[in-house]
Amino acid sequence: MENTILSDAHMYYIATTSKTVADATRDLEIAVQKHGFGVLHVYDLKEMLTRKGHPLNAECRIYEVCNPKQASLVLQRDIRLNAALPCRISVFEDGESTKIGTILPTAMLSMLSSDRELASIAANVEAVIKTIIDETAGTAWSAARQTLLARRASLAAEVASGAAKLKADREGVLGNVPDSGELANANLVLDVDRAEVERDVTELAAVDAALQRIDTGAYGMCVTCREAIQPTRLVQLPEATRCLPCQSETERLAPAHTRL
């Protein structure tokens, strides 16, 4: 399964999947709901055109999807944009492969308005729609997975060298018979060694848990409110388990809580 952006990458976002159209549409409906969108209507173009006497050989289902909050923000800002709503995601056969695609909301908006606030809403919607398409195609989180695997490798190396340093420092202390001043100093060194190893081990566990969530399909969903974590937050902190508002609230209630 690979992700292919076809023709003009600024206009379209189209992923190729090895899934059948039936499997892809089922997974699309799950992903749409998970990310706070609803399906308003599904057009089955093959069935419609064939019924009208103009048979279409390829399967082609078009989903009209909408996030009520974002739609309302857009319409309050510029009511004329109703003609460009709702968003459409299509699942279709193209030769031997199944594709899932959309016209990018930012591209569509740039033809209709130069309002910067609307552009930022469109960018948010677009990030979520791309995630929905990637999840449906089965190619979601490949970048996050790579970042996490690289982080895992460097943390594992740090833990190993930290543990070796701790061992060497401890043997150094035991090898000499220290006076009380030296002993306090040596203990401090050992404490610092230990704290560093512990911090790396904790982070390693968080990275492993994130990789596991990717495998089980739970990745990217806030453990507190069950809504999707902002894509930009996941780029900055791929092991995040909470969305930003829930994280801030958790830290406010328990300041000693980890940053995850």
Q: What is the binding site for Zn ion (CB under 5 A)?
A: 222, 224-225, 243, 246
183/225 with CB nearer Zn ion: 225
Q: How far is the CB of 168 from Zn ion (least distance, A)?
A: 44
113/241 with CB nearer Zn ion: 241
21/243 with CB nearer Zn ion: 243
Q: How far is the CB of 6 from Zn ion (least distance, A)?
A: 34
Q: How far is the CB of 156 from Zn ion (least distance, A)?
A: 30
79/254 with CB nearer Zn ion: 254
* Alpha carbon distances (Å) from 70 to 6, 38, 74, 135: 27, 12, 6, 21
Q: How far is the CB of 251 from Zn ion (least distance, A)?
A: 13
68/245 with CB nearer Zn ion: 245
136/250 with CB nearer Zn ion: 250
In SS3 terms, the chain reads as CCCCCCCCCCCEEEEEECCCHHHHHHHHHHHHHHCCCEEEEEEEHHHHHHHCCCCCCCCEEEEEEECHHHHHHHHHHCHHHHHHCCEEEEEEEECCEEEEEEECHHHHHHHHCCCHHHHHHHHHHHHHHHHHHHHHHCCCCHHHHHHHHHHHHHHHHHHHHHHHHHHHHHHHHHHCCCCHHHHHHHHHHHHHHHHHHHHHHHHHHHHHHHHHHHHHCCCCECCCCCCECCHHHHHHCCCCCCCHHHHHHHHHHCCCCCCC
Q: How far is the CB of 32 from Zn ion (least distance, A)?
A: 19
Scan for tokens 């449906």, then name that residue: 136
Q: How far is the CB of 170 from Zn ion (least distance, A)?
A: 43
Sheet holding 87-94, edge to edge: 12-17, 97-103, 87-94, 60-66, 38-44
147/224 with CB nearer Zn ion: 224
Output the CA angle 3-243-120, nearest 5 degrees: 65
Q: How far is the CB of 246 from Zn ion (least distance, A)?
A: 3
